[in-house]
Structures are given as structure tokens and as C-alpha cells.
A and B are shown apart, each in its own frame.
Chain A
Amino acid sequence: MTDIERHAYDVVVIGAGGAGLSAAIEAHQQGAKTAIVCKSLLGKAHTVMAEGGIAASLGNLWPEDNWQVHFRDTMRGGKMLNHWRMAQLHAQEAPDRVLELEEWGALFDRTGDGLISQRDFGGHRYARLAHVGDRTGLEMIRTLQQRAVQLGIDVFMECTITQLLAGNGRIAGAFGYRRESGQFLCFEAPAVILATGGVGKSYKVTSNSWEYTGDGHALAVRAGGTLINMEFVQFHPTGMVWPPSVRGILVTESVRGDGGVLRNSEGERFMFNYITEYFKAETADSEEEADRWYEDKRNNRRPPELLPRDEVARAINAEVKAGRGSPHGGVFLDIASRRSADYIRKRLPSMYHQFKELADVDITAEAMEVGPTCHYVMGGVEVDPDSQASTVSGLYAAGEVAGGMHGSNRLGGNSLSDLLVFGRRAGTYAAEYAASLGGDRPRASEEELAGFERTALAPFSEEGDENPYALHKDLQDLMQGLVGIIRTGEELKQATKQLDEMKERVRRVTVEGGRQYNPGWHLALDLHNMLLVSESIAKAALERQESRGGHTRDDYPTADPEWGQLNVICREADGGIEISTQPLPEMPEELKALFEEK
């Protein structure tokens, strides 16, 4: 195995988004020899695209905001399926993490008093999102990236990890290739942190990039770890729908937070017809009250456009189905008639730019057409809430790839804060674990490495008839059609059957060209991960016979209190996914009490 490039570290972080960078900075600060590995160039991870903001109860605009209120909003948004301890830690620590970003150079928008400004978002009782216009993710990733560079942390850019090394049930490192040259790499490290983000590339209409192939989810499962809550996929209510080439690109929720409203083809603000019992008490029931809320939050209730995302996405879906959609199959999002052109350009500069450049729409003068787009996966690697340790020794997960924090539905803004809080925690505990081993480090076996190399090269030698791009498209059509926003048992069964067929097909994938920067080859390898993750989603969705948050079953249209006590778990068995259920952890009494007041 002479042609494998070797490196040795204490902690290897897979992923350079908000979670990976936070984890690496912290592990490094704890004294661990740390490396970051990422598929794209540094600074291009998904985090860069986040727009709206970072949720943290700083209380800069609403002194009555505090972690308890944030905790309660998060749990209610997730329909109480969140791991309570993660939601608690998240709400408690988010403000400090935001202030830390400022110490590292981030320049957030300010309040009149010169403090960090906060903006309204769906499901958050108070204006809570620290932001920079509508490019908050860029500010966050750049701040963390610059910090990591200044600390001198080693970064392996454009390298893809394809396998984890495990010796006797403990992590020994990671194996992958350099995209630029096709050169294989082996990182020997007793602690590996997965910070690989999400899975959206398995869907046709998505706000996610080519990177979101569920690698971390698949790596964890193959190493013997478990996934939790995989049936919960967030369809963001507002993606672009026209022209076709931009279908799915995100339209930030800030448009609604800043005053935009949803209308159907009849001009009706239809969200008033979709206020569920669960949120009735806190949602305005007239346009007048909803409009007053922007100015006076104490005496008015929130507009229904700012209900949690699952509620809004389902409502849009229903309007379109009922024939009240916009010309290109969405609904109208109108801020032009409600706010001045100046205000819109100032608050939403990149949305203005995006519509102008890509759709010839001036959002200060006309309404946008929007519809649901696959955006975020709530499900992920099952971890310990305090340390982010998975069930495999030495394997940690943080950020979108980790499960539990968001329950059945994530509130906007709660991801960026999640990355900071749990990225840092993963860094602390992974460094501590690596140090605790002393000289007793698990080692990778050469035989295992040789096997990984063979698997990775298979698409070159395969005499198959499958094109990776064609198979990918079929998978996207399948997931969009049968495992999408509204599901039925029949369709899910059909989906798992078709996924089995695709698992056969993926073995016959062949690629042209050589090993140097070959996207066809990269996709061929990523497809294995997408299939494993898609199978997890489909099977978990079939298992959960109720509707809750990001999982809607037409054949079980309501939430079932018994299911409300259970998590669905995925693990690998015989090259496929095996499903089981496990009871939710019990919330302590003092936290339960927070849900009694209205």
C-alpha cells in the first residue's frame, strides 16, 4: 500500500462548515493535534449559504427573552420530540457562542444602542436572530475560517472521506481521496468528529448543494453507529420555483420575518386558514392584528406566516393542490406592497440580487413565486447530548449530521446556533477522549485499507451499464415522488422496493476518464451514501404511523401521543437498514413546568 498518503492526528474533523470549524478550533485549543478535512475549498461549505440568522436569547431587543423561552419555543417547534437535554444546552449556551464570534471579528448588524440586533423568525416568540443582512452564514463561516487559519490548524481541502477505520469497535481514523488527483489518504486518529452536514441531494427540488450526499450519516452507520429521527426531513416553505434551473433555491424566511406575506392566486392571505389548534393561542386571527404585531409584540399575536416551517410548507402544498397556486406551481410571497423599496434593499440585499439576476423579478415591485424545497434533515447520528459522542467509541457528530436536537422540525436560526454550541462541545470531548487514551490507540489494519482502496476504484473497472448521473436523477425522482412532503404507507413500501433495485444498479455504475478531478467518479462513490440514507428515511417514515413536524402521513393524518413518546432508530444489518424504536428520554420536572404556562 505504498501509494496511500499517511497522516497522524489526535482529532480529525470531517467537515469545514460551522460545526466542523467550531469543533476543530476547540479541539486545537484543548491541545489536540487537529486536522480538518472537507470536500470543497475552505469557506464554501453549506454554512456559507445561510441567510437569516443565528438564534440566541441575547435579549437585546426583548429583555424578557431568556434561555427558558428559547428552549420552550424549540421544543414546541419540534413537537416535543427533541432530546430535551440538547435543546436545553443549546438554548443556554447559544448567547455565549454568538458573543464569542464577535470577539473573533464578526460584525453583526446593530441595535440603536450599539448591541447585536435581532430579527423575527418563525416559531420564535421574540426577535431572536443575530444577523448580518441576509448573509449571516457568510459572516459566520468567514469568522470561524479566519480564526482556524490564524490558529494554524491543518486543513485538507477538496478531500473526501469514504470510510472510517475502526479497530475492535473503536475509531482508528479515516480513509479517503484527494479530489484533485485521486490520491488516497489515510488519517490515523483515535477521535473523529463528523460535521458533514445534510442529505438534501437525494431530492430533486432542494436548496442543498452537491456536497449534501449524507456522507457522515452513512459513515456512522457503516461504522456501527445509529441514526435517529431520519423520517423528519424539513421542506422549507419558500424556495424559488421559476425559472426551472433555479427551482429549489432558498428564499429566506427573513422575507416573512421582515413583513412579507403569502397569498394565493385569488390574492387571499391563506395562512389564516391553516392555524392548527396547537398554535392557535399564540397566532393572530385577523390581518389587522397580524400587521400590528410587527410594531407591538406585547399586545398582539404573531402573523400565521411565521408559524413553524412544517405548517407553512403543508399549507402551500394544499393551496397549490386546490388549484389556487401561482402560474409556475407555487404561491405568491409579497413584500413589495408592504415595505418600502429602500427597506427591502437594505434588509434583504442578497434576495433582491438573487431574484433580479436569476429570475428577472424586482422584489421591491412585484411578488415572488415560491414553493416548498427540501432543505434540512432533522435526523442524524444518535449522540450523547453533552459530549456529542456516538455509540461508537471515538466517533463524534455535530451540526446537521447529528440528530436529536431539533426533534421533528427545526426552527429557523436554530441550526447556526446548534453548529456553534455542539461543534464546540464535540471538540472539547473528542480532544479529552484522545488524550485519555495515552499510547493505547487503535490501529488501522492494512488489509482493511486495501479493501477500501479496491471499493473506491471499482467504478473504473466495472463493466457495468449504469451512468452515475442517470442513477442519481432516478433516485431524486423517487425520493421526491414517494418520500416527499406528504407520504403514504403504500408509496413508502414502493419506495423501499425501488431503493433495493437501485442498490443493485449502483454496483454496476461505471465512469469514464481518470482519477484526477473526476466528478463522475466522485458521484459514483457518493451514490452509495445517498442510497443508504434514502433507505433510512423511507423505512423510518414507513415505521412512524402518525403525522408530526417534518413527517406527514396521508394515511395517519394526526399526531399520536404514543408515537410522541418514541424515537425511530436506524442501524445497519446485512448491508441494509434495520429499524427499531426506543422511548424518549424523560424530561425533568422543572423543565416540564415551562410548558404549563401559555
Chain B
Amino acid sequence: MGYDLQLRVWRGDAAKGDFIDFTVEAEEGEVVLDVLHRLQATQAGDLAVRWNCKAGKCGSCSMEVNGHPRLSCMTRLSDFDRAETISVSPLRTFPVIKDLVTDVSFNYEKAKEVPAFAPRPKDPDGTYRMMQEDVERGQEFRKCIECWLCQNTCHVIRDHEENKPAFAGPRYFIRYAELDMHPLDTNDRRTLTDKQAGIGLCNITKCCTEVCPEGIKITDNGIIPMKERVADRKYDPLVWLGSKIFRRGE
């Protein structure tokens, strides 16, 4: 049942690095992360790789497998031909720390720019009443496991380091969208996304949606509606004013 897998792993640090070939034992049902762990335990004790849940829930184990951004714990070896060499490399958009681990602090910095959630007052009985239909739109975005695969894929920053300061990236566009759609929140974030988050730089290629392991429709359900509203609002301030006043009363 077991077989010898040809694995090509990028090893190195910020200064230099290269792909190294390994032959690792693989078993039926295994995922890429399993063979990386076996490699660590038997041939490369200091191989750097992030992981936590091994079940696609924490978003730690992101890397590029044959050049495709993937969660390595959810990438099954059975998706590849047994004779094929599988190559794994660190996320390209972020600076390498060591081996498969990159410096993703860009994302944590962008998180700090999102303004605080500001709920309306509670109902008189001390609760908040919200209907399931109304929370579901926001819930879709809250499925995000912060794997940064969409951030890694988006060409606005993948190929243009200079855009990073002005561009929050798809993960944060859906965060702004989520707050905007939150039945309790009172902030108006459309200005913010346009001004600070740089949604204008997005040209709706949908590459982010394609790589999202949670299947979040980042572009269709998040970015496009936000863009439309930003446009609306720029066009006619009264529309925005109206929507702000009436939104709570709906």
C-alpha cells in the first residue's frame, strides 16, 4: 500500500534557498502535510512548516503545491499520479522566513486598520433580535479561516509589492463587507474601504474566490456589492445619507 513519493521541497531563508529533492514514504489516504511531517521526523528535523488542526479549520498550513496555493492538510496525495514529483514551496506574496514558513504580518497589520464593531443599543428586554436570513450573509464571510491564500493569490499585491500599503486585500474586503452587512453594526464603512482599503484597485478577476478553501464567494458576494455601494455613494451623497438613516428601521 505504501509507496515512495518523490517530493521536491523549497528550503532556505530570506537570503537564499532552493528546491531539494527527497524520497519519502507515503501511505494510502495521506495528505501533503503528512509526508512533510514524515520528512521532518526522518530526514529533515529542522524543516519549517506551520500547521495546527490538520482538518482545514485553522488556516495555518498554507503553501504552494505544484505552484497552486493550497492548504497542505487538505491536499490529498491521491489527487496526483504516484509517479509524479510533487513540489512544495512557500507562499509567494509574503517574504520567506524559513523553508515553507513566510512572514504574514502584512495581514495582521491590515487587521488593525479595520475599525471597531459598533453595535446599536440592545432591545428593551436586553437581547438583540436578528433573523436567521439576516445573519446568514455575514456568516458566509465569518467562515474565513484566515489562511491568506486569497491574499497570496491576488495579483494586485502578488506582482506589485508597491501596492501593499494601500491595499487590504480580498480577506479584508469581506471583513468590511461583513461589518457592512452586520444587522447590528452602525459604522459606515464604504468610505473606508474605498479610501483606505483600496478596493478600487481590484479588477474583479475572481482569482481570490477560486482559491478560497472555505468556498466563500469573495468577489460575487463581498467585493462586487461593496464596489457598487461605494460607487453609489460617491455618485450621490443623499443616497448614502438615506440608506444610513433608514437602514436600522428596516
Contact = CB atoms under 8 A, between A and B. Distances in A.
Interface of A: 40-46, 48-49, 99, 102-105, 107-110, 113-115, 132-133, 135, 138-139, 142, 146-147, 149-150, 157, 180, 209-211, 242-246, 249-250, 350, 353-354, 357-359, 467-470, 473, 511-514, 516-521
B131 interface: yes
A185 B111 CA distance: 25
B99 A104 contact: no
Given A469-B40, A516-B13, A520-B40, 14 more contacts: A42-B108, A99-B127, A113-B129, A135-B57, A139-B142, A146-B111, A245-B34, A246-B55, A354-B56, A358-B55, A469-B42, A516-B98, A517-B98, A519-B40
A49 B53 contact: yes
A511 B154 CA distance: 38
Contact of A357 (B56, B58, B98, B104): B56
A517 B48 contact: yes
Contacts of A142: 142, 144
A114 to B, nearest CB: 4
Contacts of B138: 107
A519 B99 CA distance: 11
A246 B114 CA distance: 37
A470 B41 CA distance: 7
Contacts of B112: 149
Contacts of B179: 105
A46 B49 CA distance: 18
Interface residues of B, number: 62
Nearest to B183: A107
A49 B57 contact: yes
A149 B56 CA distance: 24
B60 A40 contact: yes
Contacts of A48: 52-53, 57-58, 145
Contacts of B117: 104-105, 146-147, 150
Interface stretch (B25-33, B188-196, B223-231): B25-33
B14 to A, nearest CB: 10
B45 A467 contact: yes
Contacts of A244: 27-29
A180 B127 CA distance: 44
Contact of A132 (B54, B56, B111, B142): B142
A246 B46 contact: no
A518 B138 CA distance: 39
B76 interface: yes
14 contacts: A43-B58, A44-B52, A99-B127, A107-B182, A108-B135, A149-B111, A209-B52, A244-B28, A246-B29, A467-B45, A469-B40, A516-B13, A517-B97, A519-B46
Given A102-B128, A210-B52, A245-B30, A357 B76 contact: yes
B29 A359 contact: yes
Given A249-B54, A357-B74, A109 B46 contact: no
B172 to A, nearest CB: 12
Main secondary structure of the interface of B (DSSP, over half): loop
A469 B53 contact: no
In the complex, the 10 A-B pairs of residues with the closest C-beta atoms, listed nearest first: A243-B29, A513-B46, A520-B45, A114-B129, A469-B41, A105-B117, A517-B48, A517-B98, A150-B116, A209-B52
A48 B98 CA distance: 25
A110 B27 contact: no
A494 B159 CA distance: 59
A24 to B, nearest CB: 16
B50 interface: yes
B166 to A, nearest CB: 20
Contacts of B67: none
Nearest to B117: A105
A12 to B, nearest CB: 19
A149 B146 CA distance: 15
Chain B CB within 10 Å, residue with most, of A43, A45, A132: A43
A335 to B, nearest CB: 18
B110 to A, nearest CB: 11
Given A245-B30, A358-B31, A115 B129 contact: yes
A530 B242 CA distance: 60
Nearest to B144: A142
A242 B29 contact: yes
Nearest to A58: B127
B65 interface: no
B66 to A, nearest CB: 18
A211 to B, nearest CB: 7
A148 B134 CA distance: 26
B10 to A, nearest CB: 14
A107 B135 contact: yes
A44 B116 contact: no
A114 B131 contact: yes
A357 B79 CA distance: 11
Contacts of A353: 56
Nearest to A357: B74
Contacts of B104: 41
A42 B52 CA distance: 12
Contacts of A105: 117, 119, 179, 182, 184-185
Contacts of B76: 357-358
B47 interface: yes
A192 to B, nearest CB: 24
A519 B131 contact: no
Contacts of B170: none
A210 B57 contact: no
Contacts of B98: 180, 516-517
B60 A44 contact: yes
B245 interface: no
Nearest to B14: A516
B109 to A, nearest CB: 10
B83 interface: no
Contacts of B128: 102
A44 B135 contact: no
A90 to B, nearest CB: 21
Contacts of A115: 127, 129
B248 interface: no
A209 B146 CA distance: 18
B179 to A, nearest CB: 8
Contacts of B45: 467-469, 511-513, 518-520
A330 to B, nearest CB: 15
A108 B128 CA distance: 11
B32 to A, nearest CB: 11
Nearest to B73: A358
Interface-centre pick from A102, A105, A243 (highest chain B CB count, 10 A): A105
Given A44-B60, A48-B57, A132-B142, A209 B127 contact: no
A354 B31 CA distance: 13
Contacts of A40: 50, 52, 60
B245 to A, nearest CB: 22
A103 B46 contact: no
B55 A354 contact: yes
Most B C-beta atoms less than 10 A away, residue of A147, A249, A511: A249
A240 to B, nearest CB: 9
Nearest to A112: B132
B142 A109 contact: no
